[in-house]
C-alpha cells in the first residue's frame, strides 16, 4: 500500500490517493492519532463490508494496526460538490444531472433495503468517476435500524 497524493483532510484524519498491490488506484482514509478510537473509526469499514452495490464506494481492505487505514475504490473526479462547483460538471445538461441523481437514488434505495440509514447524505459524500458514475461514500454516521424502530408517526398539519 503506497500513499501518493493527499486529496483532503478533516477533523479525524486525511484521505489519500494511492496504489494497492502495486497497480490498483485506491483512496486511503487515515485516522489522526488521538482524535477518535480506532474501534469507532473502523466501524465505518464494518458497515461497508456488509453493503455491496455498484452505486456505493467499495471497500477493498482495512489496516487495523497503527497507522490505521480504510482502503476503498478511487473515484477520479472527486466529490459531487467540487465536480459541480468547480469542475467539468458546471457545463452538464439536465439529462446528465437527472441520471446522476437517479444513481444516488439507486444507492440509497439499496441502503434502505438493507435496513441501514446513511445519516450524512450530501454532495460532499457522493463521489464521481469517469463516465459520470456517481457513488455514495462516507459511512461514518450510518447505522443499522431494527424493523420495529422505523415506524411512521401520525401527525396533524397546522396552518
What pLDDT score does 152 carry? 47
The domain spans of the chain are 2-154
The 10s digit of each residue's pLDDT in 144-154 is 776 555 544 45
Grid cell, residue 3, equals 500513499
Catalytic residues: 120
Grid cell, residue 107, equals 444507492
Q: Is the pLDDT of residue 89 over 80?
A: yes
What pLDDT score does 32 carry? 84
- Does the annotation list 85 as a binding residue? no
CATH number of 2-154: 1.10.510.10
The 10s digit of each residue's pLDDT in 28-57 is 999 888 888 888 888 888 888 899 999 999
Grid cell, residue 65, equals 494496526
Average pLDDT value for residue range 56-69: 91
Residues in Cβ contact with 80 at an 8 Å cutoff, skipping those fewer than 6 apart = 89, 100, 123, 124, 126, 127, 128, 134
The rounded mean pLDDT for the chain is 88
What pLDDT score does 12 carry? 81
Candidates 15, 12, 73; CA nearest to 43 is 12
Candidates 147, 14, 125; CA nearest to 69 is 14
Separation CA 129–CA 74 (nearest Å):
8
Amino acid at each position: 500500500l503506497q500513499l501518493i497524493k493527499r486529496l483532503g483532510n478533516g477533523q479525524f484524519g486525511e484521505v489519500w490517493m494511492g496504489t494497492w498491490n502495486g497497480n490498483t488506484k485506491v483512496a486511503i482514509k487515515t485516522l489522526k492519532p488521538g482524535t477518535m478510537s480506532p474501534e469507532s473509526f473502523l466501524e465505518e469499514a464494518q458497515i461497508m463490508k456488509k453493503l455491496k452495490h455498484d452505486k456505493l464506494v467499495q471497500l477493498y481492505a482495512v489496516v487495523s494496526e497503527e497507522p490505521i487505514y480504510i482502503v476503498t475504490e478511487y473515484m477520479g473526479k472527486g466529490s459531487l460538490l467540487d465536480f459541480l462547483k468547480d469542475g467539468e460538471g458546471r457545463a452538464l445538461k439536465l439529462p446528465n444531472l437527472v441520471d446522476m441523481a437517479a444513481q444516488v437514488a439507486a444507492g440509497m434505495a439499496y441502503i434502505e433495503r438493507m435496513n441501514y440509514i446513511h445519516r450524512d447524505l450530501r454532495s460532499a459524500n457522493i463521489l464521481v468517476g469517469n463516465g459520470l458514475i456517481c457513488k455514495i461514500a462516507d459511512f461514518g454516521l450510518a447505522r443499522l435500524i431494527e424493523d420495529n424502530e422505523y415506524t411512521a408517526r401520525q401527525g396533524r398539519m397546522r396552518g
